[in-house]
Amino acid sequence: MALYQAWLAYDGTAFEGLQRQAQGRTVQGVVEEALRTLGWQEASVRYAGRTDAGVHALGQVFAFALAWRHGPEALRRALNARLPADVRVWAVREAPPDFHPRYAARGRRYVYWLWCSPERHPFMRRYTWQVWPCPRAEALHQAARALVGRHDFAALGTPPAGPRGSTVRTVYRAAWFQVAPGLWAFDVAADAFLYRMVRRMVAAQVAMAQERLAMDAWLHALRTPPERPWAVLAPPQGLFLAQVAYHDHEVAAWQQPWSVARFRSWWWQLWRLGG
């Protein structure tokens, strides 16, 4: 019996989220169903972070214990042969016995995609938030810069349950990249995220860049957190869980400035699932 760490990508369109539920198709449910056919007997797999219905992932991490004698690569192929087409395991390795993908994580990185056009696009609709008029570029950059650092983000999310729940988080990176005409990516990494924090970040920044929210109100919310988080959310389909960091060098890389070319290269490599 060994503990395995697996990296997972999925298209969240047809899922009711990651976490197993009594009703509805979930990512955890289909992964556990595939594992059962290989002799897996645990009550539940462990995962790095929950994603909502419609949210995608390229770098989700699962862990599970399994008696398997054929090596990690054969296990990866066996799982993919049993998983549906909208889920793929792109790497597997043996993990230390005490590894937990959530509690061992040093941070998480998300990318949110924005498509600026007055015309509907049949393919962009699954993986971007279409907005019009197009947000002003300088306003997006200014709003993102204000996020970097350690802040109380009560305006953008609710604290986790428990007596030590806090809305204070450290954002290592927050940057917008114009990847192509009309196509923008918001790249954000932090030590941890509050529930729906990234979707609130994006909604607020777009509102500012479309001059529907004053920059002063944004900065005030970061300095003087309100009692309740903002209600407005960007839709789920533009959001991707891109990476979970387990090493200091990964977090250090997040804190370095990136060019558009470097972001494109990194995203393309991730999109190819490590290939």
Question: Structure tokens of 101?
Answer: 């993908």
Question: Structure tokens of 160?
Answer: 């986790």
pLDDT of residue 161: 73
CATH architecture of the domain 107-271 equals: 2-Layer Sandwich (3.30)
3-state helix, strand, coil in the chain (%, to 5): 30, 25, 45
Same fold, 2-94 and 107-271: yes
pLDDT of residue 221: 85
pLDDT of residue 158: 85
Q: Is 43 exposed, middle or buried (0-12, 13-18, 19+ CB in 10 A)?
A: exposed
Contact 7, 59 (CB under 8 A): yes
Is 98 designated active site? no
pLDDT of residue 274: 59
The whole-angstrom separation of Cα 60 and Cα 86 is 14
Question: Structure tokens of 105?
Answer: 């994580």
Contact 157, 229 (CB under 8 A): yes
Q: Is 237 exposed, middle or buried (0-12, 13-18, 19+ CB in 10 A)?
A: buried
Q: Catalytic one among 52, 86, 152, 191?
A: 52
pLDDT of residue 16: 97
What are 214's strand-pairing partners?
none
Residue 273 DSSP label: T
Instruction: Identify the three-state secondary structure at position 9.
Output: strand
Give the residue extent of every domain in the chain: 2-94, 107-271
Q: What is the pTM of this model?
A: 0.95
The whole-angstrom separation of Cα 26 and Cα 20 is 6
The whole-angstrom separation of Cα 194 and Cα 124 is 27
The whole-angstrom separation of Cα 88 and Cα 272 is 11
The whole-angstrom separation of Cα 125 and Cα 40 is 37
pLDDT of residue 123: 85
pLDDT of residue 162: 60
Residue 53: other Cβ atoms inside 10 A: 17
Beta strands 168-180 and 2-10, pairing class: unpaired
CATH code at 2-94: 3.30.70.580
pLDDT (tens digit, 0 to 9) for every residue of the chain, 275 residues total? 999 999 999 999 999 999 999 899 999 999 999 999 999 999 999 999 999 999 999 999 999 999 999 999 999 999 999 999 999 999 999 999 999 999 999 999 999 999 999 998 888 999 999 999 999 999 999 999 999 999 999 999 988 776 667 999 999 999 999 999 999 999 999 999 999 999 999 999 999 999 999 999 888 888 888 888 888 999 999 999 999 999 999 999 999 999 999 999 999 988 887 55
Sign of the alpha-carbon dihedral angle for 225, 226, 231, 232 = negative
The whole-angstrom separation of Cα 115 and Cα 179 is 10
